[in-house]
Structure 1
Amino acid sequence: MKNLNNIFCLVMMCFFLCLGCKQITKSVDETFHPNDSLVKKYDQEKGLRENGGYKGDTKTSTTTTLQQQQEKTIVINGDTVNTPEIQEKAKDLFHDIELLKQKQTPANSKEIQKRVNEFLKEMNLPQTGAKNIDAEKPAIKARKGILRAAELESAEEKLRKLPKYRNKEIVVYESVHFYEDGSINLSLQHPENPKYVDAYQYKDGSWSEQKPVLARNIERRTFPLSKINFAAAQKVIQIYNEKAAEIEGAKPTTTAYISIWDNGMRWFPSSINGSRERYDLQFNNNGTLKSFRQE
C-alpha cells in the first residue's frame, strides 16, 4: 500500500504539472532555452535578406509562434506530449481510481495499481510498485498431496526391504497414517524382540531410521503388513470425497489412516459431517466401500 501511495503522489504531481504547464514550460524555457536566443537563431537563419537587411515583422511572428507551441506541449522522457491530452488522460485516471475505490474488493489495490501503470506507460513514465506489491505477498507453499497408488506400492515394497525386516514377517503396531504432504508414519514390532516397537517415517522416497516407541497392549494392537495394502489409501480418500460432495456442508478429506485393534484393522475417516446430516462409512481392507448409512 505504501508503494501505491507513492505512485498516487507521482500521478498527482503529473496532474498539477499539466494544469500549470503553461507557467512551468515558460519558466523552464526561459532558464535553459531563452526566447531571445531562439528568436536570434531563427532570425539568423530566416530573418536576414541576402543583402543583410532585417525584417522586423519576422521577429514578432516567430516569438508568438514559439510561445504558443511551448504553451501547448511538454516533453516527457524525450517525447513531446500535448498538454490538453495529458490533462484529459489524468482526468480519466482519477475518475477510474475513484470508481475502483468505491468497489472495496480484495483485488482493489491491484486494479488501481494496474490502472496507474497504464497511465504511466501512456505518458512514457517508469512503472513502479507492481513488483514490490507481488514481493510483499506471503509465499504460499504448494502441497504435494498424498502419494499416487504406484508410489504407495513402492513405499510398501521399500519397507519390506529394510535390512532389519528383510525375509521376515513384518507386524504393524497401532496405526498407519497417510498424510497430504506425501509422507507415511507407522510403527513396527521389533523382529527379534516382540516387546519392542520402533517408529518409521516415509518421506521423499525413503524410510527414516528407527525411533523407539513406548508401546502398550502390543498383543491387541498389532496386525500383519501382509494384510495391508498401502495403495488402498487412495481408494478410501476418493470414495470419501465422492460421498461428501453429495452432502450439504460436508468437507472433503486429504488424509487417511488405518487403526489397529484386536488383530483387526479399520480405515478412517469413518464419518461425514454435513450441516444437516451425519453419515457413517466403513471400508474393506482393500479400500472398497463396505457400508454407508445415515446416523
Structure 2
Amino acid sequence: MNPRIHIYTMIAGVTLFLTACRHVSQSIKDTFNTLPEEQLVSSGANEGITGFVADEQALIQAEQILRALPQYGGHPIYLYGDIHFYDDGRINAKLQHPENPEYIDAYSYENGRWNGPSPVQRSVSDDLRGKLVALDSVPFRTVATIVRNYNEKAGTVIGANPTDHVYLIIRYGTTQWYPNHIDGTRELWQIYFHRDGSVASFNRK
C-alpha cells in the first residue's frame, strides 16, 4: 500500500474515533444533567401564592367553590371543630356530612380547588353539636377582617410580626378566632375577636 494512503487512512480512523468519543461523552453529560420531565414542573403546592389570608376576593371565591360542590347542593354547610387558613392559599376544614349528620368529613383547599371528602373518625363521647357552626355565620371573608384588625394592632407593638395564619376553633357552642396574642420584643398583648372579626378586646398581659 502506498505509504501516503496508509497515513491518510490512519488519520481518518483517529478522527472518527475522537468524534465518536465526543458524542458518547456529551450523551453521558446530557443523561446526568437532564431532569425527568415531571421534575421540570414545580411540585410545590401553591408556589408563589402569598397574601391569601388578607385577600377578601380570594377567600370569597374559595367559599363559593366549596358551596358549589355537588354533595352540598341544596344543603346548609356546617363547620366542625376547627378550620385553618394559610397565607399560601391553603385551607383545611372539617364539615358535617350533607346526608348523615352524625358523620364528619375532612376537606382541603389548594391550587384553587377543594380535595376530599375524607372520613373523620369520631368518638361517641364527642360533643358533636357543640363543635358545629353554620358557615353562613362565619363566611370566609371574615378571615381578611381578622388579618386587617390583627395587623393594625400588631403595628402598634414594637417588635411584633403580622400574622399569616388564621384559624377558628369551635367548642361548647362558641367560636374563637386565632391568633389571640401579639408578641412584641418587650410586651405581650392579648387580642380577642367577635365572630364577625371585629375586635372584642385588646389588653396588655
* TM-score after normalising by structure 2: 0.70
Identify the residue that residue 95 of structure 2 maps to in structure 1.
188
Identify the residue that residue 278 of structure 1 maps to in structure 2.
188
Query: 1:158 and 2:49 equivalent?
Result: no
Question: How many Å apart are 1:143 and its aligned residue?
Answer: 4.5
> Quick one: distance in 2 between partners of 1:144 and 1:243?
21
CA deviation digits over 1:218-267, x for unaligned, max 9?
22211111111211111111221121121122222111111111222111
Question: How many Å apart are 1:201 and its aligned residue?
Answer: 1.0
Moved over 6 A (4+): none
Residue 257 of structure 1 is aligned with which of 135, 154, 167?
Answer: 167
Query: 1:145 and 2:42 equivalent?
Result: no
Question: How many Å apart are 1:144 and its aligned residue?
Answer: 2.7
> Quick one: distance in 2 between partners of 1:203 and 1:159?
12
Aligned counterparts, 1:187-226, within 5 A: 187-215=94-122, 216-226=126-136
Question: How many Å apart are 1:207 and its aligned residue?
Answer: 1.0
* SS of the residue 2:200 aligns to: strand
Tell me if the contact between 1:146 and 1:182 (Cα under 8 Å) persists in the aligned partners.
Answer: yes
Tell me if the contact between 1:185 and 1:202 (Cα under 8 Å) persists in the aligned partners.
Answer: yes
RMSD of aligned alpha carbons: 1.6
Tell me if the contact between 1:146 and 1:255 (Cα under 8 Å) persists in the aligned partners.
Answer: no
* Relative contact order higher in (CA < 8 Å, ≥ 6 apart): 2
Q: Letter of the aligned partner of 2:171 in structure 1? A: W
Residue 228 of structure 1 is aligned with which of 138, 144, 155?
Answer: 138
Tell me if the contact between 2:107 and 2:114 (Cα under 8 Å) persists in the aligned partners.
Answer: yes
* SS of the residue 1:287 aligns to: coil
> Quick one: distance in 2 between partners of 1:163 and 1:143?
27
Q: Letter of the aligned partner of 1:206 in structure 2? A: R
> Quick one: distance in 2 between partners of 1:251 and 1:266?
21
CA deviation digits over 1:75-127, x for unaligned, max 9?
xxxxxxxxxxxxxxxxxxxxxxxxxxxxxxxxxxxxxxxxxxxxxxxxxxxxx
Aligned counterparts, 1:1-295, within 5 A: 142-147=48-53, 148-215=55-122, 216-295=126-205
> Quick one: distance in 1 between partners of 2:197 and 2:89?
18
> Quick one: distance in 1 between partners of 2:99 and 2:48?
41
* SS of the residue 1:210 aligns to: strand
Larger fraction in strand: 2
CA deviation digits over 1:21-47, x for unaligned, max 9?
xxxxxxxxxxxxxxxxxxxxxxxxxxx
How many percent identity over aligned positions? 37
Unmatched 5+ residue regions in structure 2? 1-46
> Quick one: distance in 1 between partners of 2:157 and 2:120?
40
Question: How many Å apart are 1:186 and its aligned residue?
Answer: 0.4
Unmatched 5+ residue regions in structure 1? 1-140
Larger fraction in helix: 1
* SS of the residue 1:209 aligns to: strand
Question: How many Å apart are 1:181 and its aligned residue?
Answer: 0.6
> Quick one: distance in 1 between partners of 2:50 and 2:156?
26
CA deviation digits over 1:171-202, x for unaligned, max 9?
11011111011111101011222221100111
CA deviation digits over 1:110-149, x for unaligned, max 9?
xxxxxxxxxxxxxxxxxxxxxxxxxxxxxxx644331511
> Quick one: distance in 1 between partners of 2:181 and 2:90?
23
Q: Letter of the aligned partner of 2:139 in structure 1? A: N
> Quick one: distance in 1 between partners of 2:176 and 2:87?
19
Tell me if the contact between 2:48 and 2:88 (Cα under 8 Å) persists in the aligned partners.
Answer: no
